[in-house]
A and B are shown apart, each in its own frame.
Chain A
C-alpha cells in the first residue's frame, strides 16, 4: 500500500507543478489571462498568511491568534508601506514578535 501511495502522490504533486511547463500544451496566455495572473502572487500569499493571524469558526466568530502576532504583523505592514527594505521588515518584525511573545501575558 505504501509504495503505491508514494508513487501516486509523487505523480500528482509533480503533475500540478509541471502541467503548464509542458511544450505539448498549446496554451499561450493572452493579454487578459496575463492581467488576471499578474495578481496571483498577491492573492495567494495573502491567502496563506491571513489564516495564520486570524481564525474563524461559525460558532465563536473571528479570533486573533495572539496579540504578539497582531502587533508584529502590523509593524511589518507599516514598515513596508513606508518603504523599508523587505529584509529589514522581516528581521525587525520577527525580532519584535519574539520579544512580545516573551513579555506579553499568554
Chain B
C-alpha cells in the first residue's frame, strides 16, 4: 500500500506543480536568455520560440545558439546537442521499469517533458511515497515546460531590457533543492560515496569537458557507489 493510491490525479498534479515550482523559477533567467539570444543571432520570434517548444533542453539550446553566432557546421551543433543531452539516457533507463506498462502516447509524452528537474522531483516523490506515479511525473514535466516556454517568450519580447539577469542568484534555488533532495540519505555510505565522487569530479571536469562533465562525473560517482555497496553486501547473483 502506498500513499499514491489514496490521492486522486488532481491532488497528485497540484503536488507535482508545487514541488517543481522552485526549480522552474530558478531557470527563468536562462529561459529569458535563450529567447533573447535567439533573436540576437537572427532567428525570427517564431523560430526562437519553436526551439523551446520542440527541443526543450536549456543547456543544449544555449550551446547551439552560441555556436550559431559564429561560423559552425550543423554537424558540430548536433554533436554538442547529443553530448549535452546524453544524461537523459540515464533518466530514461532509470524510469524504464516504471513506464513500460503505459501506452505509447503516455510514454511519448513523459519522454518529451523529461528534464533534470522532472527527474529530480519525481525521484524524490517516489522515495517519499514508495511508488512511482506517472501522473505526478507528467504534471511536473508539464509545469516545467510551460514556465520554460513563458520565460523564452519574455526573452523574445523584452530580451534587451534584462541585463545580467543570470547574475541575480536565482540559481541558488537549484542548489538548495538538490541538497534537500539528496542529503537526507548521506548517512548511507554508498550514497555518500556517489555524492562526494560526483560532486568533486563535476567541479574539476567542468573546465575541461564543458558539455559532458555532468554525465562523466555522475557515471564515475555511480560506479564508485556501486563498488562501495558491493563491498558491504554483494548482490545475490554474486553470492550464488
Contacts and interface: CB of A to CB of B under 8 A. Distances in A.
**Chain A partners chain B:** yes
Most chain B CB atoms below 10 A, which of A32, A44, A51: A44
Most chain A CB atoms below 10 A, which of B112, B171, B190, B198: B198
Given A5-B74, A12-B78, A101-B169, A50 B97 contact: no
B237 A30 contact: yes
A8 B95 contact: no
Given A21-B110, A44-B90, A94-B172, A9 B55 contact: yes
B145 to A, nearest CB: 12
Nearest to A86: B180
B202 A47 contact: yes
A104 to B, nearest CB: 11
Given A68-B169, A69-B172, A86-B181, A47 B199 contact: yes
Contacts of B204: 56
A49 B178 contact: yes
B185 interface: yes
Given A5-B74, A45-B120, A46-B199, A94 B173 contact: yes
B60 A13 contact: yes
A42 B195 contact: yes
B94 to A, nearest CB: 5
Given A9-B77, A44-B198, A54-B203, A97 B92 contact: no
Interface string B84-121: 01111111111111011000000110111010100110
Interface of A: 1-2, 4-6, 8-10, 12-14, 16-21, 23, 27, 29-32, 34-37, 39-58, 62, 68-69, 72-73, 76-77, 79-81, 83, 86-87, 89-90, 93-94, 97-98, 101
